[in-house]
């Protein structure tokens, strides 16, 4: 318990001055479920004037997402943006896929450019994770960051989830036989707005771009946006300027076409639904603990008590809020 936990106003003041420890503390507090999160988010909302532009970076482990992020940060900073990075990838060197010394060095390099980097616990449900990511973005927004880079692992459910949060989704691939097929199978080939063929010095990079273009044309894609494909070598910084152009072109497209508003409202709706459900589910669990305590369950199992009138009452009570 620090002074910041006792007094939100001192925390928010330090946060708005860009104090990295205050940002970290605030993210930890809003990452955790509960009514306290809502209260702090309410205050952060009041302190925020502009929403951050959210860039999701996804792709399989080993595709070089973290190196891309490291290269993108100075590039975006040079164009006048203040960049915050949230790593929700357990395989990311930022969050644990590197030895501690390397991690600290990376973090220092990032913070030298005025950027902020933080890894988020990927424990818990997918819904819980996306609530945590949204909440962390709001901390960055209150601290004056105008870009949030979200690095997520491209496997399982998580990489689809970034689509629920990010304005622009980058899919990172490497020239390897079967990588496109894997991405198609996982259903992620069509969620991206910008594609990156990283490690483009490897054999087959040009061929991969052609194949990917074909795969995108085969699938019905976004009506007015033809997703660009960047060839990069993140390890030595090649192609990053072009990739930055592509990202900002997508941002301009969203702004000019009106797609931004539609998409942002949808994301906002998901965010609100998810937060509402969290509270309601917690209360449901309480109600059930109360209604169906061990003794009642035993009676039901022995057919001495009918559970359905209780359930109907619970449904009706919940309905009284509707």
Applying CB under 8 A, among 1, 123, 203, 303 the residue interacting with its own copies is: 303
140, with CB counted inside 10 A (0-12, 13-18, 19+), is buried
CA nearest to 122, candidates 150, 99, 101: 150
Q: Name which of 220 and 320 has its Cβ closer to its own copies.
A: 320
Please report whether residue 80 would count as binding its own copies according to CB under 8 A. Answer: no
Q: From CA 1, how far away is CA 295, in angstroms rounded? A: 39
Binds its own copies by CB under 8 A, chosen from 8, 22, 49, 168: 49
Residue spans of alpha helices (H) in 32-178: 35-47, 65-78, 100-112, 126-142, 158-161
How is residue 295 written in tokens?
A: 């003794």
User: How many beta carbons lie within 10 A of that of residue 307, not counting itself?
Assistant: 14
Candidates 78, 104, 214, 311; binder of its own copies (CB under 8 A) is 311
In SS3 terms, 137-176 reads as: HHHHHHCCCCEEEEECCCCCCHHHHHHHCCCEEEEEECCC
- C-beta of 19 vs 51, nearer to its own copies: 51
Q: Does 306 bind its own copies (CB under 8 A)?
A: yes
Binding mask 106-135 toward its own copies (x if CB under 8 A, else -) reads ------------------------------
Comparing CB distances to its own copies, the nearer of 178 and 322 is 322
Q: How far apart are the C-alpha atoms of 139 and 47, rounded to whole Å? A: 10
Token pair 């994301």 is at which residue?
267
Q: Which range, of 1-9, 89-97, 239-247, 280-288, touches its own copies by CB under 8 A?
A: 280-288
Window of 17-25, 73-81, 242-250, 310-318 that interacts with its own copies by CB under 8 A: 310-318
Pick the closer one to its own copies by CB: 206 or 266. 266
CB nearer its own copies, residue 181 or residue 301: 301
**Least distance to its own copies, CB of residue 46, Å:** 7
Q: 């936990």: which residue's tokens?
A: 5
What is the per-residue binding string for its own copies in 242-261, x denoting contact by CB under 8 A?
Answer: -------------------x
Q: What is d(CA 322, CA 223) in angstroms, rounded to the nearest whole number?
A: 37
Q: Least distance in Å: CB of 250 to its own copies?
A: 19
Put residue 96 in one of left, alpha, beta given phi > 0 → left and psi -120 to 50 → alpha: left
- Tracing tokens 């819904």 back to the chain, one arrives at 127
Task: Name the β-bridge partners of 195.
Answer: 171, 229
- CA-to-CA distance for 11 and 156, rounded, in angstroms? 36
Among the listed ranges 61-69, 75-83, 174-182, 304-312, the one in contact with its own copies (CB under 8 A) is 304-312
Binding segment toward its own copies, per CB under 8 A, in 91-99, 142-150, 231-239, 303-311: 303-311
Among 111, 132, 131, which residue's Cα sits nearest to residue 121? 132
**Shortest Cβ 181–its own copies spacing (Å):** 20
Q: Which residues bind its own copies (CB under 8 A)?
A: 35, 38-39, 41-42, 45-46, 48-51, 261, 264-265, 268-269, 272-273, 275-277, 279-281, 283-288, 290-292, 294, 297-298, 300-301, 303, 306-309, 311-312, 314-315, 317-319, 321-322
């Amino acid at each position: 318990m620090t002074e910041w936990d006792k007094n939100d106003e001192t925390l928010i003041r330090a946060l708005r001055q860009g104090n990295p420890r205050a940002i970290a503390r605030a993210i930890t507090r809003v990452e955790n479920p509960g009514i306290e999160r809502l209260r702090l988010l309410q205050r952060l909302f009041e302190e925020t004037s502009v929403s951050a532009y959210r860039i999701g970076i996804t792709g399989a482990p080993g595709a070089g997402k973290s190196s891309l992020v490291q290269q993108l940060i100075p590039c975006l900073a040079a164009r006048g943006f203040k960049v915050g990075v949230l790593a929700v990838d357990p395989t990311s060197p930022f969050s644990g896929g590197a030895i501690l010394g390397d991690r600290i060095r990376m973090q220092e390099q990032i913070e030298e450019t005025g950027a902020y980097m933080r890894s988020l616990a990927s424990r818990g449900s997918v819904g819980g994770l996306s609530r945590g990511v949204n909440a962390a973005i709001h901390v960055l927004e209150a601290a004056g960051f105008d870009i949030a880079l979200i690095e997520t692992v491209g496997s399982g459910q998580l990489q689809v989830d970034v689509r629920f949060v990010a304005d622009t989704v980058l899919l990172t691939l490497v020239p390897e036989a079967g990588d496109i097929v894997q991405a198609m199978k996982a259903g992620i080939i069509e969620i991206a707005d910008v594609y990156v063929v990283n490690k483009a010095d490897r054999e087959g990079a040009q061929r991969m771009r052609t194949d990917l273009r074909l795969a995108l044309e085969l699938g019905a894609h976004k009506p007015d946006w033809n997703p660009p494909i960047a060839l990069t070598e993140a390890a030595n910084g090649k192609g990053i300027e072009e990739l930055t152009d592509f990202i900002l072109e997508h941002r301009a497209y969203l702004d000019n076409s009106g797609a931004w508003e539609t998409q942002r409202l949808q994301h906002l709706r998901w965010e609100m639904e998810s937060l509402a459900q969290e509270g309601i589910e917690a209360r449901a669990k309480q109600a059930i603990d109360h209604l169906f305590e061990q003794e009642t369950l035993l009676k039901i199992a022995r057919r001495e008590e009918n559970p359905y009138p209780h359930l109907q009452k619970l449904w009706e009570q919940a309905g009284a809020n509707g």
